[in-house]
Amino acid sequence: MPERKIIYSMQMSLDGYIEDTEGSIGFTNPPDELHRHFNEREAAIDTHIYGRRLYEIMNDYWPGAAADPAASPVTLDYARIWNSKEKLVFSRTLTSVEGRARLATRDIATEVAELKAKPGKDMSLGGATLARDFIALGLVDEFEVTIYPTLLGGGKPMFGDFTRETKLRLIEHRHFDGGYMFLRYAAV
């Protein structure tokens, strides 16, 4: 049985930001074709690993999205998929999480070793600050970047400062109508 991979997966502006200067991810409203791609990618994972901020953003919307009468079919599908996944949340400030989530109680390396030892699908890592720590420890197996055709001019970068060089090999790329790009790299 192959070892489960950790995949850092985020959406960013062409100039490399995952949030604008106000902390909003509002620019990441994908068209249906791209949203269907995200839904298909979710089939390959069974666990989301989040930092506090991204967990709060996702948990504020997706648990109730299935009840939104204005939601598109592709959004309803993603809500169903997202709500079915396990979530591991790393936070220094949260004391509880909801739904199919649990708080990490140990260091990153210990939590990851336990997850990788269990049978299951790959895991999606989200949140730039948390990802920086995973990258520094050499724990990210793949990087998935969806680039939106917009420039934000500032905000939170997808890749913060880190000291470990990580060589990558392109293993998939896709273009979507409207100028959206999906890039997938394996750590070498």
pLDDT at 162: 75
Tokens describing residue 120:
């299951």
Say how many residues make up the chain: 188
The pLDDT tens digits for 147-159 are: 999 999 999 999 9
Q: CA-to-CA distance for 4 and 123, rounded, in angstroms?
A: 7
The secondary structure of 15-80 as a DSSP string is TSEEE-TTS--TT----HHHHHHHHHHHTTEEEEEEEHHHHHHHHHHHHHHTT-TT--HHHHHHHH
CB-based burial, 71-92: b 16+ in 10 Å, e otherwise: eeebbebbbebbeebbbbbbbe
Tokens describing residue 8:
């850092």
Which residue positions in the chain have pLDDT lower than 70?
Answer: 1
The partner residues of 176 in beta bridges, in order of sequence, read: 180
pTM recorded for the entire structure = 0.94
User: CATH: 2.60.40.1220, 3.30.70.600, 3.40.50.150, 3.40.430.10. Which one for 6-187?
Assistant: 3.40.430.10
Strands (E) located in 116-167 = 122-126, 142-148, 156-157
pLDDT at 1: 63
Q: Could you give phi then psi for residue 157, rounded to 5 degrees?
A: -75, 150
Q: CA-to-CA distance for 19 and 23, rounded, in angstroms?
A: 5
Angle (CA) 141 10 145, round 5°: 70
